[in-house]
Chain A
Amino acid sequence: MQKKFDRGLERTRWLAGITVFAVLGLVGMLANPYVISLMTIVLLFTFLGQSWNLMLGIGGQLSIGHALFVGLGAYSVGVLYVKYGISPWVGLLTGMILAGSVGASIAWLSFRFEVRGIYFALLTIAAAEFARIMFSGWEFVGAMQGLFFPAPTGGIEISMLRGDARFYYFVALALAALGIIGTEFISRSYLGYVWRAMRDDESAARALGVRTFQHKILVISISAATAAAGGGVLALVQGSIFPDSIMGMGLSVDVLIGPVVGGLGTTFGPLVGSLAAIPLNHLMSALGDSLRIPGLNNITYGVVLISVVWFLPDGIWPAIVRLCKAIQAPPTALLWQSRKVEE
């Protein structure tokens, strides 16, 4: 019976996924420029959140310095395009390889010397800050003055990944869909199983033959490479790159808000979380401006974050899933699920 129930849930998931993306597609075609630009950011941070979520939610490795990888992706696209006119596609690929290698190197060094858990997380901040400071002083990449993409000419140029706001909305939508499908795919493959095992209990996983050293490096480099892809597109969308915003601590935090609010380790969590958090932030920021209450957005943001963590500690998405299960499942199944066996 459990199996049949799971299959029903499975169908609901697919339906929900397709509906959500159909609606997002319509939004892209019909919405006004403000909504389009806001939703582009939501979708990009869905993708970035997905990348971060893969690493912590499935692989069990906490990064608080994801801005490093985002920044490497952005600068790869920016430098190659602005300085040499090379297509952003090449820049994206370069950024992914670069960030993947940097991620793998940090992971290798760290785990080789048994730096793990929260100490590893501190190392990721240190690496990101180091890179930010380095890029801030590096004239070739524009230092503090940043890099500027030439203004778009109007038309859509797929080969150069250039176009108007609506074009970038659909690029971001494709990226978010790819992130969700990719996460689901990895999650169901053997990698998903061994990574979750490693996340839940590293030494028990090793006793079952999981080569955790290699797998940690793998999950971190995949996460880094995908974050770089998101960073590359983010740079194109914003039209400029500044070290403080693209590689700063603030960006590292923005990346993890979506999955933390939406649901750690879940496939849809980053989307749900970004949808909830980013528009709220913008709305409160606008409201704060018109009411002349500076910082209103940050206060609201903080209150909402704390409430979510307090009332829905595993995030919004798992709460939605629980609700759906409660509506669909026969009461006996609910009884069985809530019964805790005493030890």
Chain B
Amino acid sequence: MTTLLEVENLSRSFGGLVAVKDVSFSLRAGRITALIGPNGAGKTTCFNLVAGALKPTSGRVLFEGRQIDNSPPETVCRMGIARTFQIVRPMREMSVLENAMIGAFSWTRNVSEARSKAYESLESVGLAAKAHARTDQLTLPDRKMLETAKALSTRPKLLLLDEVMAGLRPTEAAGIVGVLQKLAEGGLTILLVEHVMRIVMEVASRVVVLHHGAKIAEGSPGEVVADPKVLESYLGAGFHA
């Protein structure tokens, strides 16, 4: 298996606050990795650093062996990294379908090709029936799925998902978990921020744990939930895997 993404000693501070502190990890192609940690641990900041939305204070990000931490987000996206936003950002004046088409224009200029890719993306997250709705007619969980569909339309190699299953009912979440697993089988690499441990245990083959910006553990889901540091700082004494 090859390494798709390498994060090396990555740090980012905002004024005096160190949001991400000397974090290193790597992602293997075709795997689902979970990034977990308490609120404010630096997970979203990590995403922003990888996706080019923020520049690191120090450290490097390598994608397919090339350094990308100086590249703007559109370049990073075109290289094959797509991300969702934790706070959803639909294009308000555009329909659900049109939202899902935007990403396809990173690899085609053909409108009908983009439209069929958008239908395919919406289909895979269960939104195809609402393709012609306005985005303000969607529920919040549906808007998160729209974020996912928008990202999928870019045909990514690496997909960064920031709490996209929040608010879903367990059966709906199970459906999405199935979709993610199928995408990973098809070769897509996924890095997922998720608070529901049951989902993490189910989909992730590896877990990276952040706390106060620093990586405190990494391993298989089983190893991580047994780690005393993780139990103490994140999962709490009452957690049972």
Of B51, B72, B91, which one neighbours A197 at CB under 8 angstroms?
A: B91
A190 to B109, CA, bound (A): 6
Instruction: Please give, as numbers and ranges, the residues of chain A lying within 8 Å of B98 by CB-CB distance.
Output: 193, 196
A203 to B74, CA, bound (A): 9
Do A206 and B73 touch (CB < 8 A)? yes
Give how many A-B residue pairs fall within 8 Å (CB-CB). Answer: 90
Do A206 and B140 touch (CB < 8 A)? no
In this assembly, does A207 line the interface, its C-beta being within 8 Å of a C-beta of chain B?
yes
Of A3, A196, A341, which one neighbours B93 at CB under 8 angstroms?
A: A196
Do B103 and A200 touch (CB < 8 A)? no
Nearest residue in B to A207 (C-beta to C-beta)?
A: B73
Do B91 and A207 touch (CB < 8 A)? no
Do A189 and B111 touch (CB < 8 A)? yes
Nearest residue in B to A201 (C-beta to C-beta)?
A: B89
Task: Given A193-B114, A200-B94, decide whether A208 and B51 contact each other with a Cβ distance below 8 A.
Answer: no
Task: Given A2-B132, A194-B105, decide whether A208 and B77 contact each other with a Cβ distance below 8 A.
Answer: yes
Of A200, A212, A265, A340, which one neighbours B92 at CB under 8 angstroms?
A: A200
Do A204 and B91 touch (CB < 8 A)? yes
Instruction: Please give, as numbers and ranges, the residues of chain B lying within 8 Å of A330 by CB-CB distance.
Output: none
* Most chain B Cβ neighbours within 10 Å, of A208, A211, A340, A341: A208
Q: Which of A173-191 contact B (CB under 8 A)?
A: 188-190
Do A339 and B137 touch (CB < 8 A)? yes
In this assembly, does B117 line the interface, its C-beta being within 8 Å of a C-beta of chain A?
no
Do A209 and B91 touch (CB < 8 A)? no
Mask, B122-139, CB within 8 Å of A = 1, is 000000000010001111
Task: Given A193-B114, A194-B102, decide whether A207 and B140 contact each other with a Cβ distance below 8 A.
Answer: no
Do B51 and A200 touch (CB < 8 A)? no
Of A189, A208, A340, A343, which one neighbours B106 at CB under 8 angstroms?
A: A208
Task: Give A205 Cβ to nearest chain B Cβ, in Å.
Answer: 7
Instruction: Please give, as numbers and ranges, the residues of chain B lying within 8 Å of A211 by CB-CB distance.
Output: 74
In this assembly, does A123 line the interface, its C-beta being within 8 Å of a C-beta of chain B?
no
In this assembly, does B215 line the interface, its C-beta being within 8 Å of a C-beta of chain A?
no
Task: Given A193-B102, A197-B102, decide whether A212 and B93 contact each other with a Cβ distance below 8 A.
Answer: no
Do B137 and A340 touch (CB < 8 A)? yes
Q: How large is the interface on A (under 10, 10 to 19, 20 to 34, 35 or more residues)?
A: 20 to 34
In this assembly, does B154 line the interface, its C-beta being within 8 Å of a C-beta of chain A?
yes
Task: Give B147 Cβ to nearest chain A Cβ, in Å.
Answer: 9
Instruction: Please give, as numbers and ranges, the residues of chain B lying within 8 Å of A208 by CB-CB distance.
Output: 77, 82, 102-103, 106, 150-151, 153-154
In this assembly, does B158 line the interface, its C-beta being within 8 Å of a C-beta of chain A?
no
A306 to B139, CA, bound (A): 35
Residues of B within 8 A of A (CB-CB), count:
38
In this assembly, does B231 line the interface, its C-beta being within 8 Å of a C-beta of chain A?
no
A343 to B166, CA, bound (A): 13
Q: Which of A158-179 contact B (CB under 8 A)?
A: none
In this assembly, does B78 line the interface, its C-beta being within 8 Å of a C-beta of chain A?
yes
Do B83 and A209 touch (CB < 8 A)? no
Do A209 and B77 touch (CB < 8 A)? yes
* Most chain B Cβ neighbours within 10 Å, of A197, A265, A342: A197
Nearest residue in B to A204 (C-beta to C-beta)?
A: B89
Task: Give B79 Cβ to nearest chain A Cβ, in Å.
Answer: 10
A241 to B74, CA, bound (A): 44
* Most chain B Cβ neighbours within 10 Å, of A2, A201, A204, A206: A204
Q: Which of B78-125 contact A (CB under 8 A)?
A: 78, 82-83, 85, 89-94, 98, 101-103, 105-111, 114
Do B72 and A206 touch (CB < 8 A)? yes
A204 to B91, CA, bound (A): 8
Task: Given A188-B111, A201-B91, decide whether A209 and B105 contact each other with a Cβ distance below 8 A.
Answer: yes
In this assembly, does A144 line the interface, its C-beta being within 8 Å of a C-beta of chain B?
no
Do B106 and A209 touch (CB < 8 A)? yes
A232 to B153, CA, bound (A): 43
Instruction: Please give, as numbers and ranges, the residues of chain B lying within 8 Å of A127 by CB-CB distance.
Output: none
In this assembly, does A24 line the interface, its C-beta being within 8 Å of a C-beta of chain B?
no
Do A196 and B94 touch (CB < 8 A)? yes
In this assembly, does B168 line the interface, its C-beta being within 8 Å of a C-beta of chain A?
no
Do A341 and B73 touch (CB < 8 A)? no
In this assembly, does A80 line the interface, its C-beta being within 8 Å of a C-beta of chain B?
no
Instruction: Please give, as numbers and ranges, the residues of chain A lying within 8 Å of B139 by CB-CB distance.
Output: 341-343
In this assembly, does B201 line the interface, its C-beta being within 8 Å of a C-beta of chain A?
no
Task: Give A200 Cβ to nearest chain B Cβ, in Å.
Answer: 4
Instruction: Please give, as numbers and ranges, the residues of chain B lying within 8 Å of A131 by CB-CB distance.
Output: none
Do A209 and B114 touch (CB < 8 A)? no
Task: Give A90 Cβ to nearest chain B Cβ, in Å.
Answer: 32
Do A209 and B137 touch (CB < 8 A)? no
Task: Given A209-B77, A343-B139, decide whether A265 and B106 contact each other with a Cβ distance below 8 A.
Answer: no
Task: Give A66 Cβ to nearest chain B Cβ, in Å.
Answer: 22
Instruction: Please give, as numbers and ranges, the residues of chain A lying within 8 Å of B94 by CB-CB distance.
Output: 193, 196-197, 200
Nearest residue in A to B95 (C-beta to C-beta)?
A: A2
In this assembly, does B53 line the interface, its C-beta being within 8 Å of a C-beta of chain A?
yes
Instruction: Please give, as numbers and ranges, the residues of chain B lying within 8 Å of A3 by CB-CB distance.
Output: 132
Q: List 6 A-B contacts (CB under 8 A).
A: A203-B73, A204-B89, A206-B77, A208-B82, A265-B93, A342-B139
List B residues at the A interface (Cβ < 8 Å): 51, 53, 72-74, 77-78, 82-83, 85, 89-94, 98, 101-103, 105-111, 114, 132, 136-140, 150-151, 153-154
User: Can you name 6 extra interface pairs (CB under 8 A) apart from A199-B93, A208-B82, A209-B106?
Assistant: A188-B111, A190-B108, A196-B94, A197-B91, A207-B74, A209-B105
